[in-house]
Chains A and B, each alone.
Chain A
Amino acid sequence: MLDRSSTTDFTARSAHSTVVTVNGEALVHQGSPLKRLTQVLRDDFGLKGTKVGCDAGDCGACTVLMDGEPVCACLVPAARAEGALIETIEGLNGLPEMQTLQRSFLRHGAAQCGICTPAMLLAALALLRRSPQPSEAETMDALGGVLCRCTGYRKIIEAVMNAHAPIADEARTGAAVGARVERLDGQRKVTGEDVFGADDWPVDSYVCRTIRSPHPHARFTIGDTDAYVAKHEGIVAVFTAMDIPGENCFGVIPPFADQPALAESVARFRGDAVALVVGTEAAMARFDASAFPIDFMPLPAVVTVEAALAADAALVHPSRAGNVLAQGRVMRGDAEAGLAAADVVVEGVFQSGFVEHAYIEPEAGFARRVGNRIEVKACTQSPYMDRDDIAKILGIAPEQVRIIPTAVGGGFGAKLDLSVQPFIALAAWHLNHPVRMVYSRAESIMTTTKRHPSLIRMKVGATQDGKLTGIDFRGDFNTGAYASWGPTVANRVPVHASGPYHVPHYKAVARAIHTHLVPSGAFRGFGVPQSAVAQEQLYDELALKLGMDPLDFRIFNALQTGLPTVTGQVFADGVGYRACLEALRPHWLAKREAANRFNANATGPHRCGVGVAGMWYGCGNTSLSNPSTIRLGLKPDGRLTLFQGAVDIGQGSNTVIPQICADALGLPLDRFDLVGADTDLTPDCGKTSASRQTFISGKAAYLAGSAMRAAMLRLANAGDDAPIAVRDGALLIGEGPAARTIELGAMPVNRRGFVIEVEETFDPPTTSLDADGQGEPYAVFGYGAHLAEIEVDIELGRVKVLHLICAHDVGKAINPTLVEGQIEGGAAQGLGLALMEEFFPGGGENLHDYLIPTIGDMPPVTSILIEDASSIGPYGAKGIGEQALIPTAPAILNAIHFATGARIRQIPATPDRVRSAILAAKGEAS
């Protein structure tokens, strides 16, 4: 176009080139000067360590240094980068100043899933260059622009503030279990080399995009797609429900499966996928969904549980009467009689909204057809479940599907369900060409599962001496348009809604109700965080009405070994709830005293509050088989290969499971090579969900390690406690005169090249629940209690959490650093649930309207690890992933009451809701 001396003119579609200096090298970008620097770095220059989380400057995952200063590369056009010096993680990896920081991140456990890690490191490096020993406030200011959903930020703060602190020489010897082993996959996370869903695809892969319903409920007709394809250069195909060779239906719980991969004539929520458009990368970069030939005719929609339950409500699925997907029920004793016998009864109605997982990695992956098989490489929490559903959709055998999970940039439950997988698999299958797909942030928020909104009515009674007598609980959970994990929520909640207390008379009913909204599914706790908000606030009220200390009330009623749960289960060991509460007592007394003193003298708008809340959570599936299988092989050179199919979504199974296996076998960790999840290579370790991997896959790893040890000992006819060592391709078994040397090279190898191979499965012992919900739904529960110290601005309703003290009975902390990481990250999500997180379908499908805690919202966390071993878990271990989130919100809400006298019945406790509650409480008081 224009070519004037004073003007640099960039024309998008001409082959314009832009020279960008990246990591000291002048690189040439051919193409649009308006292309985001993120895409230029990742797609043109292959620098995938810069991540894309939102394309809007809201998450900071794409932080790079531009002339030394951190910027969001997603907001910088290529042309603007010309003439600037751009530094990315790849260029900084070689610098000693970065390596020091990376070592600090590994030492402190500051990287979990790793998706935000490069950005955190770059923002921190810019800070450390001007302030080598930064204060906490400086660190927060510098890192405030990068969101992390896993860590709760505190270990990142420690790692940055102590990057240059001298390191104690801690040569590690002895047992792996119980040691603060650095994450075994940590190095590739801190260097940005880990490969996430959007980081790898075959050259020339087509790009897939979805056409989605803009209405919550609509009938639609698709026009002439052949003409559409012909008219749009670079678009190669359109797929609709008619193109699905198998069954157009998937779902995580097969008997309830109801979600079409592509809707057939009726869309049931805003965002329901109705068609796929596949084209070249260049064409799809300019994809305009509005040009697609489709007509939607909106239909009446039910968008609240109340409307869905109305007698004349439209049915979301005709086969489900009254829009009830599932109901769970637990009855013990006589709840009415128990409440009648109470001296004091409290009750309340509690509400919560949709909560978004907001992992920093949007769903992504690619698929390719290999002969008559399909390979799907995408981020997932559940490879074998994906395999079976993809097979069903394509109408092929499960063995024809290979699922290769990429590194997962956070999951928290929503990556248990299919997202991109059926789309890329379908397109790649038909086109016989690789197809990739990356969800935009809007698409991720609009369409993937959420935490269930809840409406809970609960009544609790106790006698004058503080003994709980009865509970009546009813919960309705908005499960959205498709089943997903709704039945699990309906079944789990009644089992848990008493909390870990001895309650003789109990009635709890929970229902999952369909609406024309985004499907609700699994989110860390399966409905239990919502019921805990009701239960733990009512226990507080009850204690205060009885004139009892809320902590003493909980201790007095705490479940213990020998006492039945509400399902009649009696544990002989491993019930460490009371110890968690006792551990909080000194903090509770001191902080309560300090808060009372502060409030008595307060003249300004701030009041302090302290609250406690407890939790329990059953590890693994509810009354359903959920085995894990671990394979372990010994190679002739003496190295061990651990086939570990548990997907590490940041929680640390890639580290914890080898730790367990190493000690069971009696060889050091560095003897092991890991083969990660891949349905062609690793046996099924189930899904990463339900706080089951350390407990169940860990136990399978323990059994595999033990079986390998037994096999080795048999070779030498040695006793059970004989030491084993490996040297120069030989096993040395026993010591002293009885020592034997076994030359491994002389032994035959199997088809996988192993001289010894073992495979062990563990399925936790449970029983099914009877019609009254009585039985043994879980082999093990995890227990915990949190204390929240907060400050409330009573004029503005703004709540600031000052300190969280989190006591958890984990049975055995296999890796204390990773356990603390789970606690801190869970507490951060609990804080978000309590104070700021609510998704409104159709409003705010981004990370600036949907708020998650930033580094500035997270207070110091003190973790107290209680180890009341369960006889079933490996070394006594229990789960911690979901447990950590559950008590935070009710502890904060109880603290708000302490500070203000106001009870918050609807979460999140946003400033306006807190202020209203304070005004209402004042009105009642006067």
Chain B
Amino acid sequence: MLSRPLDLDETLRLASEPGVRVFAGGTDIFPAAGDVELQGRFIDIGGLDACRGISRADGFIRIGAGVTWAALIAADLPPAFAALKQAAREIGSVQIQNRATLAGNLCNASPAADGVPALLILEAEVELRSLGGIRRIPLRDFITGNRRTLRAPGEIMTAILVPEPAAARSIFLKLGARRYLVISIVMVAVLLETDAGGVVRQARIAVGACSPVARRLPLAEAALMGKPALSGLGDAVDAAYLAELSPIDDVRATGPYRHDAALALVRRAVDLCAEGKSGGVA
């Protein structure tokens, strides 16, 4: 069963019923169903005004839970969103980007979700609503493990909120075993904000597919502070700063390789970002 409510209250009431699942882009729900008919009860949030569009208010850029990756790519956003847009272009294929949503990527909570590192460096929050009310949670807390989030039964994600960024630049690098339609072996997002003299005053680095949840690397970020944003900045990232990653072996790569590749990618992404270049595929 699929319900397509047009108002939020009705949506939340339906969501409160046991066993009801939220249908956003469908790009994770259908593959999981195999080749039999999709069973169960779903609410389609595509028709909700509350989930629509990208807007700016109260110091936040609000990305509705129904916004697709293609819509994000087309949106006019500050330079700090470059990493997120580069990630968007590497998600699946054009066909997937036209359907899949940012919110779905977060709620699905795959360790290899390409959207997470780029949203972590934007210090995004997520907006969750239920009959009980509304709450906002930092993304870094929202995803708690492999396919696990803080979204409670009866709650739906209605938006992703990104604080208006300073004049920063950012970059995303993805490593996969092929071009297009590929699950990442490792991906990295970096944001750098510099002062008038070109010295780093804010650095954020996040790594995905190397731990159950993508992680920021605070030690590496700290190491960049106060340094000139020039080529070679990446050398400041020491292997020890990646100690909190815990990559596993799977069909795509071994854990030790992932660790090694993450270091190379972080250094490279920092350099490219410092040089003002763009990312994409490593």
A-B contact pairs, 25 of them (CB 8 A): A6-B6, A7-B3, A8-B3, A8-B47, A10-B2, A32-B38, A34-B38, A36-B38, A55-B30, A55-B34, A56-B30, A57-B27, A60-B181, A70-B94, A75-B96, A77-B23, A79-B4, A80-B44, A140-B179, A140-B180, A145-B180, A796-B264, A856-B179, A911-B177, A912-B185
In angstroms, Cα B183 to Cα A56, docked, is 14
Alpha-carbon separation in the docked complex, A60 to B181 (Å): 10
Most buried by B among A2, A57, A851: A57
Q: How far is the CA of A797 from the CA of B261 in the complex (A)?
A: 9
Considering only residues 54-93 of chain A, those with a C-beta below 8 Å from chain B are 55-58, 60, 63, 66, 69-72, 74-77, 79-80
Residue in B70, B181, B261, B282 whose Cβ sees the most chain A Cβ within 10 Å:
B181
Q: What 0/1 pattern do residues 114 to 139 of B give for CB contact below 8 A with A?
A: 00000000000000000000000000
Binary per-residue interface labels of chain B (5-25) against chain A in the complex, 1 for a CB within 8 Å, 0 otherwise: 111001000100000000101
- Taking CB atoms, residues of chain A closer than 8 Å to B70 are 69
Q: Does B77 interact with chain A (Cβ within 8 Å)?
A: no
Q: Is the CB of A144 within 8 A of B180?
A: yes
- Chain A residues within an 8 Å CB radius of B93: 57, 60, 144-146
* Chain B min CB distance to A197 (Å): 15
Interface residues of A in 425-457 (CB under 8 A from B): 440-442
Shortest beta-carbon distance from B184 to chain A in Å: 11
Q: How many whole Å from B6's CB to the nearest CB in chain A?
A: 5
> What residue in chain B is nearest A843 (Cβ atoms)?
B251
Residues of chain B lying within 8 A (CB to CB) of residue A855: 179-180
Is A1 a contact of B251 with CB atoms below 8 Å? Answer: no
Given known A-B contacts A79-B44, A142-B94, A912-B254, A796 and B180 have beta carbons under 8 A apart = no
Knowing A8-B4, A34-B37, A141-B94 touch, does A844 contact B251 (C-beta < 8 A)?
yes
Decide: A80 near B96, CB < 8 A? Known: A8-B3, A440-B34, A605-B264.
Answer: no
Given contacts A56-B30, A286-B37, A797-B257, contact A145 B181 (CB under 8 A): yes
- Whether B265 sits at the interface, judged by CB under 8 Å, is yes
Q: Which residue of B lies closest to A142 (CB)?
A: B94
Among the interface residues A7, A12, A56, A288, which one has the most CB atoms of the partner chain B within 10 A?
A7
The answer, yes or no, to whether B146 is at the interface (CB within 8 Å) is no
CA distance A844 to B260 in the complex (A): 25
> Nearest chain B CB to A36's CB is how many angstroms away?
7
B55 at the interface (CB under 8 A from A): no
Question: Whole-angstrom distance from the CB of B247 to the nearest CB of chain A?
Answer: 11
B37 touches A145 (CB 8 A): no
Q: Is B31 an interface residue (CB 8 A)?
A: yes
For the complex with contacts A77-B23, A145-B95, 7 further pairs of A-B residues with Cβ separation under 8 Å are: A4-B10, A10-B4, A58-B181, A63-B95, A75-B96, A79-B2, A286-B37
* B residues in contact with A2, CB < 8 Å: 3, 14
Residues on A with beta carbons closer than 8 Å to the beta carbon of B252? 849, 910
CB-based contact B4/A69 at 8 Å? no
B99 CB-CB contact with A under 8 Å? yes
Distance from B23 Cβ to chain A, minimum over Cβ atoms (Å): 7
Q: Is the interface of B mostly helix, strand, loop or mixed?
A: loop
- A12 and B26 CA atoms in complex are apart in Å by 17
Q: Report yes or no: A60 in contact with B4, Cβ–Cβ below 8 A.
A: no
Question: A285 and B36: CB pair below 8 A?
Answer: yes
Question: Which residues of chain B are near A835, meaning CB under 8 Å?
Answer: 177-178
> Quick check: A854 and B180 within 8 Å, CB to CB?
yes
* Known A55-B31, A75-B99, A440-B34; contact A6-B7, beta-carbon cutoff 8 A: yes
Interface size on B, residues (CB 8 A): 55
- The answer to whether B3 touches A69 (Cβ under 8 A) is no
A790 to chain B, nearest CB (A): 14
Question: Across the interface, which residues of B come within 8 angstroms of A144, CB to CB?
Answer: 93-94, 179-181
B236 within 8 A of A: no
Chain B residues near A609: list those with CB within 8 A. none
Interface 1/0 per residue, A381-405 and B, CB below 8 Å: 0000000000000000000000000
Which chain A residues lie closer than 8 Å to B175 at the CB level?
A: 796, 798, 911
Closest B residue to A286 using CB positions? B37
Inter-chain contact B178/A836, CB cutoff 8 Å: yes
Interface contact B253-A857, CB-CB below 8 Å: no
A795 within 8 A of B: yes
A598 at the interface (CB under 8 A from B): no
Give bound CA distance, A344 to B58, whole Å. 76
Contact B35 A55 (CB under 8 A): yes
Question: Taking CB as reference atom, which chain A residue is nearest B26?
Answer: A75
Q: How long is the Cα–Cα vector from A77 to B33 in the complex, in angstroms?
A: 13
Measured between beta carbons, the chain B residues less than 8 angstroms from A147 are 181
Q: Mark A143-164, 1 if CB is under 8 A from B, else 0.
A: 0111100000000000000000
Shortest C-beta distance, A570 to chain B (Å), equals 44
**A residues neighboring B (CB under 8 Å):** 1-2, 4, 6-12, 32-36, 55-58, 60, 63, 66, 69-72, 74-77, 79-80, 123, 140-142, 144-147, 285-288, 440-442, 605, 793, 795-798, 835-836, 838, 840, 843-844, 846, 848-849, 851, 853-857, 910-912, 915-916
Does residue B92 face the partner (Cβ distance < 8 Å to A)? Answer: yes
B152 proximal to A (CB < 8 A): no
* A-binding residues in B (CB < 8 A): 1-7, 10, 14, 23, 25-27, 30-31, 34-39, 42, 44, 46-47, 70, 89, 92-96, 98-99, 175, 177-183, 185, 251-254, 257-258, 260-261, 264-265, 268, 282
Q: Do B3 and A286 have beta carbons less than 8 Å apart?
A: no
By CB atoms of chain B within 10 A, which of A796, A838, A848 has the most? A796
Which residues of A lie under 8 Å from residue B183 when comparing CB positions? 848-849
Q: Which one of A11, A793, A856, A911 contacts B257 once the chains associate, using CB atoms below 8 Å?
A: A911
Name the contact of B94 in the complex, choosing from A145, A793, A795, A838 (C-beta under 8 A). A145
Docked-complex contact B6 and A8, CB < 8 angstroms: yes
Instruction: Tell me if B7 and A57 are in contact (CB < 8 A).
Output: no
In the complex the two chains form, is A80's CB within 8 Å of B46's CB? yes
- Contact yes or no, B2 A77, CB < 8 A: yes
Q: Shortest 8 CB-CB distances between A and B: which pairs?
A: A145-B93, A856-B179, A144-B180, A912-B257, A56-B31, A440-B35, A795-B264, A34-B38
- Flag if A57 contacts B251 (CB, 8 Å): no
Q: Are B180 and A72 within 8 A (Cβ)?
A: no
Complex contacts, B92 vs chain A, CB 8 Å: 57, 145
A482 to chain B, nearest CB (A): 25
For A142, list chain B residues within 8 Å (CB).
Answer: 94
Identity of the chain A residue whose Cβ is nearest the Cβ of B6 in the assembled complex: A6
B179 and A70 within 8 A (CB): no
Identify A57's interface contact among B3, B44, B96, B257, CB under 8 A. Answer: B96
Q: Are B30 and A851 within 8 A (Cβ)?
A: no
Q: Measured between alpha carbons, how far is A36 from B99 in the docked complex, in Å?
A: 14
Q: Cβ of A857: which chain B residues have Cβ within 8 Å of it?
A: 178-179
- What are the residues of chain A within 8 A of B10 when measuring CB–CB? 4, 6-7
Q: Which residue of the partner chain B has the closest CB to A438?
A: B35
How many whole Å from A852's CB to the nearest CB in chain B? 8
The CB with the most chain A CB atoms within 10 A, among B10, B93, B251, B265, is that of B93
A60, A69, A286: the one within 8 Å of B39 (CB): A286
Per a CB cutoff under 8 Å, which of B42, B99, B254, B265 touches A76?
A: B99
CB distance from B78 to the nearest CB of A (A): 24
CB within 8 Å for A7 and B180 given contacts A35-B37, A286-B37, A911-B257:
no
Beta-carbon nearest neighbor of B3 in chain A = A9
Q: What's the least CB distance linking A364 to chain B, in Å?
A: 12
Q: B178 contacts which chain A residues (CB < 8 A)?
A: 835-836, 851, 853-854, 856-857
The minimal Cβ–Cβ distance linking B222 to chain A, given in whole angstroms, is 24
How close is B237's CB to chain A, nearest CB, in angstroms?
Answer: 13
Q: Which A residues lie within 8 Å of B39 (CB)?
A: 286
Query: Per a CB cutoff under 8 Å, which of B7, B47, B177, B260 touches A836?
Result: B177
A693 to chain B, nearest CB (A): 31
Q: Is there contact, CB below 8 Å, between A6 and B179?
A: no
By beta carbon, the residue of chain B nearest A56 is: B31
Docked-complex contact B26 and A856, CB < 8 angstroms: no
Q: Is the beta-carbon distance between A287 and B36 smaller than 8 angstroms?
A: yes
Q: With the chains together, A2 CA to B14 CA distance in Å? A: 10
Cβ–Cβ < 8 Å partners of B23 in chain A: 77
CA of A916 to CA of B30, assembled, Å: 37
